[in-house]
Structure 1
Amino acid sequence: MVRYERIILLLVAAALLIPAGIKTRQSAQNAALAGFSVKGFVRVEGDVAHPGMYPLSANLVTLSAIKMAEPLRPLKRLAPAGAAGRRLKNGEGIRLTIREDGQGDVIFIPLPASERMLMGIPLDINTMGAADFDRLPGIGPLIAGRIVTYRQNNGGSMALEELLKVEGIGEKRYETIKRYF
């Protein structure tokens, strides 16, 4: 009977200690993640071993993102001047081309609207083309063209609320698409 009492005692102790251990492990994982808060995503492509999307932290600069993607050849410098230390923005893309002399030419490009929507990155109404607007739910090529024309006729930029002034966009359609911006 003493043997059964020990087994029961061990089972009770395990039942009490396992949840405490799991909670401690989760707290440690959460603390580690808190040190690296993700502010969005950037894409790195071109002459890199691992092209793709990378998490954007508060102070991520161009050179750091390129290093994460591993350049195919050693880099001596980046062009244009100041590109290496430039802070990246959510939804931005970097295309790297490495020359024979080791210079890395960097081009900054916004991600297409379809990718931004997929990643939950807000769209910029003032940089979108008709094809980008066409990807929004309830907006076809005709209304997309009207949005671009409205923007061009009103100084080349517009506020989100101005979509209501575009023919074919009523309250219901506006409410459906405004969450993407």
Structure 2
Amino acid sequence: MFDMERKHQLVLLIMAALILFGAGFKYAQVQGDQVDNNQLIADVNVSGTGETNNAGEKDMKPQEIMVHMAGEVQNPGVYRLTAGSRVVDAVNMAGPTEASALDYLNLAAPLQDGSQIIVYSKDEFNQGLPAGAGSGTRGPSLPERELAGFVGSSGLININTAGQAQLEELPGIGPALAQRIIDHRTKNGPFLSTEDIMVVSGIGEKRYEQLMDLITVY
């Protein structure tokens, strides 16, 4: 009888030990899974932060444009500038000469990627610009004085880059209205189409009809 009780107690102890061992093993397994999950989350967070930082660094890099400087400058050629640069920045990079007719350039005009700026000399303006000035060819002088670098071979005036004097050559555009055109594009950026000039106070549909065949944007 006594042996039976001891055997029974021994079986109970073994079962209790197995239960405790199983519970401990399960607990350790759960803790291990939690550590793995936490490590995985940490790795994902670190990776995500790195990608965000890289994207931010890319966004912070300034965009560049390229313009061709020609004519009366010390170093004609193609220059890289930061997007948003003005004509004066390109002129300074190319180096104006004492003979450069800078007074006829709109130095505050925003630069366009892929554009060409031709700086003419003061003598050329005094004598009248050569025919085909926009395309870089030379010939008989023109009766009107076109703005250096801002009249295309078609003869149309680029309202995004034309200066005060050239804008005043357009029908119905006086000094005050020409200045408003310059102020608007300086503040709001270049016109996207010739029709956009009608957003300038003082230029309605009738006046635009007089200008539409004489102006361009690029």
Same fold (TM over 0.5): no
Higher relative contact order structure (alpha carbons within 8 Å, sequence separation ≥ 6): 1
Which structure shows the bigger proportion of residues in strand conformation? 1
TM-score band, normalised by the shorter chain?
A: 0.3 to 0.5
What is the TM-score normalised by the length of structure 1? 0.37
TM-score by length of 2: 0.32
